[in-house]
Structure 1
């Protein structure tokens, strides 16, 4: 019977269905295998078994291997041994050699002739049962049906076992997964009571890392969670949990706990009540958010710090004396600005979200064209990333004034080198620019006025320069000797209006009696400023309709008239005016600043006129002086000649008439003194005469072949006695003969003046005179060791009537060196001096040895 074989083992588990349930379908759960010698025998058996409605497999050839059919679906193997019991036994052995065959019942079908020995042999093979002929279909079907039912039940039992094993495996896997999940949750998973102190019936292993207590401490009641909650936070936690339970909703809490070591930590808890008829437990998660809370607090601190920095930046921006505009990169959107920016622009900052919006602003070029959006310095920095430093920009404000801004724009980069923003700062330099322009203008005008004594030409040029520096137009009216006013010059930026201004002067001549205008300013010497010229003013000022028409044609909107006043005299008036349609300006009206500039210009122009007048008077005085000197020197020389002759005759008579007289030598000394004084007087008169000729340009030279060494020797011989009288020794050195073409008398005069100076200022020390030649040039050097000349006096001693010392102690007219220089330069040479106070002076004269006449 089934399972009686001594080597029988439990049957293997049935294969699971693809869905993993372990159940076997009714169609494939059980099948039968028929094995025999003849196919027709097997077919007959198949027909007998057909009512059982189970699949039947047939193996009719003993040579075929039936192993492929031996699987778990076989409920019974029927071996047809009716023809040969021995063959059936052999086949049974072969079947039993397959592992699966050991668990499949084998039913032998034998002939009625089978004996007990045959049946015993079949039993040794593990045969389950045997049916002998004649075969009863009912018994056969009953036997096989019993095997089929056993197979079905066994299959169901195995499937149930497999399902149980599967369920157990799933449960173990779920438990493992839950344990893994709970063990890897970054916070503690808990289950607790619903009331304080919230004792935990379950706590995950993360409790240790979170609180310093192991899970068992909580679950065994050694510590409760409520004991860890910070006292300040406990009331709030209690109320939140109570409200959530009442509303049967989850709760979320953030509070502090104290760990086992006393450390304070911030935790985040998410929980929910477990309800039956009432709340039974709390379940949830608790996470350590200390680092997050610290980061949050740090973020709040940084936010507060950022807000403080922002407020400080705002305060700094608002306190800066310059305007500031901050724009976002790369869009160009306005981020920030200060009140100074709006004050300088003269209007509120315009809303800008992109670079194109900058076209709303009113920057203009010098010719009046509006700036394009991309021309602004901020736009250029946004486009290139390069700073735009120190740029002047004209801005047309809503009040009609044009201001000059000095603007700087630069990029702001982040740590990665990315352009984040652009900052522009600008200040109003209109006043500074105007002052600079005015100073430059005044300096230029002063240079022009000083360049010539023809004041009419220079003043006409100044009038032209005044436009546009001081207005759109300018006129100059000068006072004539007969008391009338003459329009000397007109300048205007508009040629048509310039013609109208000239026509005005012709149509309605100016008079000193006029109540306003240039005539009144010239008469009173007071400035006249009209900030706004209205049509009503023009109507009151006009003499007739034609006059009014011309006045209106000038388009004057503001006027300023200043006098040309100097040394208690008024020479005329300068008129300035702004006109409609003139150049863009910081102001279209004259004010105090323009008045001061115009008055300064008027004073300088008046001084130029006065200086020109004084110069003409001085020229006339100099001419009179030169004429007087020429006549006086000529007339003074006339009595000197006979006086010199008489002294010469007297010198000859004294030895002859008074040779024996004791006072003869004394008389001779007096006579010699008189002759020296006469010679000095003659030299002074000659100097005055030379000065007159030099001033008139009539200094003439008589150039002949002359020996400079010889001339020096002669003049030195004349001055040797005079040098000896003052204690100086006169040395003549150098080459004795240096020929050249010079005026001998003038050369004597040069050497005489230099030796005379050396004797006068030599302080009784040696004097050396030397002549030397250097190819085409000759040099005369006179050196004394006297008082010397100060550095500041060395340039002016060659001037007319100039002296380096007081004439009270040394005398003289201060003309000798002036005449000497004039003579030397007339002969094509140069003279210079080298001197130090207390160490003497050296005069050096260089002369060309040949001169083109």
Structure 2
């Protein structure tokens, strides 16, 4: 038999169960191996062994299949040596040398001639038994059956030994695993008494790491576990332990201990009571773990949680106090995480539950044409889709109360430390009032520009009425007072052409009158604004004069009205009416209020001032025309007696020279005559200026263009003014080219030179005056320069105006028309005139004229 130690090797013939347990299945019969020299001999033996009902394998010596047959672990080797004992002995020896036949019994079958020596040689090989001829089938079967039973028992014994070895190995492995487990448990394993102070009878090696005491310190009662428990936790531990023992249930405890070094640690204990046969607790077993890091982490987590809660409350407080609305959504789902009360106040309804981007379609943002925004068009959805900030955007929002608000919205992403999109924050504010004020300001500025663009106030007011829609309402109408006291509907505008026709038909069917108790007539009569915030059916019935009138009023669809007077200079001469109608433009309010009233009254004041200014301008224009006509007639009539008076003075001057040559005071008489002639010349010059101004204003300044020499004109006029310049102490210098021919009106050219030289002599302060003419290609230039008092910069802009002067008329006289007439003449001839001057350094007037007139 082989041994049972783990190091022993079992015989290779051990059969195995299909389930791998190593046991021999009862239904599996062990084979018998027949080896002989002739196959026919083996067939006879097979018949003899058939009653045993065991499989029989046959082989001739040294066949190739013999090794495989031995691997099948036959229960018995039957060697047929009846033909040759020697061959049988050799066959048995070689079979037994095979590893698979080492423990298989061998039965020799010999002939009747076998002697004792042959039998001894067979037993020496290892033969178990021999049967000689004549063969008895019963004996053969008996002996083979015995070997079969022996093989079965050996198999059972091997199986039992193997199971015992496996059980022993499993026990040793369990012990090893337990030692490994207890040695590697992060906490200590213990067994203790059931009573306080819970002395330990067993403690694992982890006890040293946990408490600072060795397992021997506890098992030898140098210290007990109860002594380590924190005094503040001991009553609770005692109570919970007693309750667990009373209920025979496992216990779980969390408490503090003080280690050998005095360090305080948190531990977690899980244990159970071991019960005896009498169901009484004999001992406690369990685990104790050091949870100090976990407890510290838990405390830190609680601290962070409190801090987070504080930050959350602070964030909530900040969100609720912000003057703008805030909406925070989760990424990437779009689920609403937070919002403030301002958001609900601006939207006009509670925040809607949104779990995904598609839910944004529940909101009521609209396009300018009234279409609802799709869910993906909202700024938050765009940021969720792109991860990029959304630029500031204005949105229209249709509130449940029917008003449309203008919202200014910003949306931006918030990323985590890894750059992943976490949330999206949108902030928005209601800028309806701001946009309304901006729109109103722009509207008023535009209307003011329109009112100032034309003096035809009827056409201008009609245009204003068109501009008022839809800024101030869905409809607008203007009624003006006629000279006979009746009212005339001057203009009507409406967003709906059909309702515009209805409004006009309403004005024709029942025109407003000054004696009306309401409407445009009452507003014009009283000068007070009429505001109806809500036009009801009852009001329409009360206002209607007949059935047709009521039908037309209903057809207008008016829901609110505002009528303001056109009032200026204590006079009301018209009324502007504004209307909101059903189905009109989306807007912040469908009813007129104080803000719209102020805007409409401001518009009415501007329109009234424009109308009043247009009327004043017409009156002023009429007065100017009358003045110009008077000046034209007066200057013409005054010039009639001046001509003969001038001739008489010339004749008188000659007569004085001839008749008074011997008298005592001819020089004095001549001075008086010369003085009279100069005054007559001044008067003639003033009348000519007034006459020219009248013709310029009436557009009747005509030119008679002929070939003219500008140099000659300057020479002649300078000769006329030389005595006058000498009289005031100025030297008149004529420079430049003597001849500059061109085509001009000679008399008007003389007038230009005369006015400029006269101006230089008057303001030249007795200093030299320079006059120069030069040709510049197809243009001629005239320059008159004095060194007199000069002109201030602010006066340079206005000296060419009508009746404008740069100095006081008390010191220099004149009407302020010379430069105005000069510029008009120069521009009529296609030229330009400019002046360069500084106070105290004189003035230089430069005239440039084309030498050929078009």
Q: Name the TM-score, length of structure 1 as normaliser.
A: 0.82
The aligned counterpart of 2:805 is: 803
The aligned counterpart of 1:193 is: 193
1:210 and 1:27 mapped to 2: Cα distance?
60
The answer to whether the Cα contact below 8 Å between 2:29 and 2:55 also exists between their aligned partners in 1 is no
Mark the runs of 5 or more structure 2 residues left unpaired by the alignment: 2-6
- Bigger drift between 320-329 and 18-27 goes to 18-27
Shift of the alpha carbon at 1:703?
1.4
The aligned counterpart of 1:684 is: 686
1:384 and 1:68 mapped to 2: Cα distance?
76
The aligned counterpart of 2:817 is: 815
Shift of the alpha carbon at 1:849?
0.7
Aligned CA distance change for structure 1 residues 370 and 60 (closer, same or farther; 3 Å): closer
The answer to whether the Cα contact below 8 Å between 1:527 and 1:561 also exists between their aligned partners in 2 is yes
* Deviation by residue 1:136-183 (Cα, 9 ceiling, x = unmatched): x9x999999999999999999998877665554433322222222222
1:708 and 1:312 mapped to 2: Cα distance?
91
Aligned CA distance change for structure 1 residues 14 and 747 (closer, same or farther; 3 Å): same
The aligned counterpart of 1:532 is: 534
2:431 and 2:652 mapped to 1: Cα distance?
88
- What SS is found at the alignment partner of 1:768? strand
The answer to whether the Cα contact below 8 Å between 2:787 and 2:843 also exists between their aligned partners in 1 is yes
2:339 and 2:290 mapped to 1: Cα distance?
45
Shift of the alpha carbon at 1:114?
9.7
- What SS is found at the alignment partner of 1:537? helix
2:52 and 2:536 mapped to 1: Cα distance?
133
The answer to whether the Cα contact below 8 Å between 2:73 and 2:101 also exists between their aligned partners in 1 is no
The aligned counterpart of 2:793 is: 791
Q: After superposition, where does 1:207-606 map in structure 2 within 5 Å?
A: 207-276=207-276, 277=278, 278-385=280-387, 387-606=389-608
The answer to whether the Cα contact below 8 Å between 1:14 and 1:72 also exists between their aligned partners in 2 is no
The aligned counterpart of 1:708 is: 710
1:83 and 1:519 mapped to 2: Cα distance?
156
Shift of the alpha carbon at 1:519?
2.3
The answer to whether the Cα contact below 8 Å between 1:80 and 1:110 also exists between their aligned partners in 2 is no
2:585 and 2:56 mapped to 1: Cα distance?
120
Shift of the alpha carbon at 1:388?
4.2
- Bigger drift between 539-548 and 830-839 goes to 539-548
- Bigger drift between 450-459 and 262-271 goes to 262-271
The answer to whether the Cα contact below 8 Å between 2:319 and 2:339 also exists between their aligned partners in 1 is yes
2:690 and 2:805 mapped to 1: Cα distance?
16
- What SS is found at the alignment partner of 1:532? coil
1:442 and 1:131 mapped to 2: Cα distance?
140
Q: Name the TM-score, length of structure 2 as normaliser.
A: 0.82
The aligned counterpart of 1:5 is: none
The answer to whether the Cα contact below 8 Å between 2:73 and 2:100 also exists between their aligned partners in 1 is no
1:407 and 1:161 mapped to 2: Cα distance?
87
* Deviation by residue 1:253-285 (Cα, 9 ceiling, x = unmatched): 233334444444333222212221322222222
2:469 and 2:414 mapped to 1: Cα distance?
44
The aligned counterpart of 2:205 is: 205
- What SS is found at the alignment partner of 2:435? helix
- What SS is found at the alignment partner of 1:431? helix
Q: After superposition, where does 1:635-654 map in structure 2 within 5 Å?
A: 635-652=637-654
- Bigger drift between 406-415 and 469-478 goes to 406-415
Aligned CA distance change for structure 1 residues 684 and 81 (closer, same or farther; 3 Å): closer
* Deviation by residue 1:66-111 (Cα, 9 ceiling, x = unmatched): 9999999999999999999999999999999999999999999999
Q: After superposition, where does 1:165-176 map in structure 2 within 5 Å?
A: 167-176=167-176
Aligned CA distance change for structure 1 residues 14 and 360 (closer, same or farther; 3 Å): closer
* Deviation by residue 1:742-789 (Cα, 9 ceiling, x = unmatched): 122222222222233333334444433332222111122233344433
The aligned counterpart of 2:755 is: 753
1:611 and 1:348 mapped to 2: Cα distance?
54
Mark the runs of 5 or more structure 1 residues left unpaired by the alignment: 3-9
The answer to whether the Cα contact below 8 Å between 2:785 and 2:842 also exists between their aligned partners in 1 is yes
Shift of the alpha carbon at 1:818?
0.9
2:548 and 2:760 mapped to 1: Cα distance?
79
* Deviation by residue 1:619-647 (Cα, 9 ceiling, x = unmatched): 12111211221122223333433444444
The answer to whether the Cα contact below 8 Å between 1:83 and 1:111 also exists between their aligned partners in 2 is no
Shift of the alpha carbon at 1:709?
2.4
Aligned CA distance change for structure 1 residues 224 and 569 (closer, same or farther; 3 Å): same
The answer to whether the Cα contact below 8 Å between 1:352 and 1:358 also exists between their aligned partners in 2 is yes
Shift of the alpha carbon at 1:391?
3.3
Number of matched pairs: 842
- Bigger drift between 389-398 and 841-850 goes to 389-398
- Bigger drift between 603-612 and 500-509 goes to 500-509
The answer to whether the Cα contact below 8 Å between 1:467 and 1:491 also exists between their aligned partners in 2 is yes
Shift of the alpha carbon at 1:612?
1.8
* Deviation by residue 1:770-817 (Cα, 9 ceiling, x = unmatched): 322221111222333444333333222211111223323333222111
Aligned CA distance change for structure 1 residues 31 and 809 (closer, same or farther; 3 Å): closer
Aligned CA distance change for structure 1 residues 207 and 676 (closer, same or farther; 3 Å): farther
Shift of the alpha carbon at 1:451?
1.8
Aligned CA distance change for structure 1 residues 434 and 127 (closer, same or farther; 3 Å): closer
The answer to whether the Cα contact below 8 Å between 1:81 and 1:111 also exists between their aligned partners in 2 is no
2:269 and 2:323 mapped to 1: Cα distance?
55
Shift of the alpha carbon at 1:821?
0.7
Shift of the alpha carbon at 1:248?
1.5
Q: What RMSD over aligned residues (CA atoms) do the two structures have, in Å?
A: 5.0
- What SS is found at the alignment partner of 1:797? coil
Shift of the alpha carbon at 1:826?
0.3
* Deviation by residue 1:303-323 (Cα, 9 ceiling, x = unmatched): 333333333332232222223
Shift of the alpha carbon at 1:741?
0.9
Aligned CA distance change for structure 1 residues 248 and 623 (closer, same or farther; 3 Å): same
The aligned counterpart of 1:6 is: none
The answer to whether the Cα contact below 8 Å between 1:37 and 1:62 also exists between their aligned partners in 2 is no
The aligned counterpart of 2:846 is: 844
1:502 and 1:94 mapped to 2: Cα distance?
137
- What SS is found at the alignment partner of 2:799? helix
2:51 and 2:622 mapped to 1: Cα distance?
168
The answer to whether the Cα contact below 8 Å between 1:36 and 1:62 also exists between their aligned partners in 2 is no
The aligned counterpart of 2:4 is: none
* Deviation by residue 1:556-608 (Cα, 9 ceiling, x = unmatched): 33322222111111112222233344333322322212221222222222212
1:580 and 1:131 mapped to 2: Cα distance?
129
Shift of the alpha carbon at 1:213?
4.0
The answer to whether the Cα contact below 8 Å between 1:92 and 1:125 also exists between their aligned partners in 2 is no
- What SS is found at the alignment partner of 1:583? coil
1:621 to 623, 637, 647: 623
The aligned counterpart of 1:693 is: 695
Aligned CA distance change for structure 1 residues 710 and 243 (closer, same or farther; 3 Å): same
Aligned CA distance change for structure 1 residues 190 and 716 (closer, same or farther; 3 Å): farther
Aligned CA distance change for structure 1 residues 201 and 701 (closer, same or farther; 3 Å): same
Aligned CA distance change for structure 1 residues 513 and 154 (closer, same or farther; 3 Å): closer
Aligned CA distance change for structure 1 residues 467 and 220 (closer, same or farther; 3 Å): same
The answer to whether the Cα contact below 8 Å between 1:207 and 1:215 also exists between their aligned partners in 2 is yes
* Deviation by residue 1:494-523 (Cα, 9 ceiling, x = unmatched): 444444443444444443333333222222
2:823 and 2:332 mapped to 1: Cα distance?
76
* Deviation by residue 1:295-354 (Cα, 9 ceiling, x = unmatched): 333433343333333333322322222233334444444333322222223223333344
1:811 and 1:690 mapped to 2: Cα distance?
19
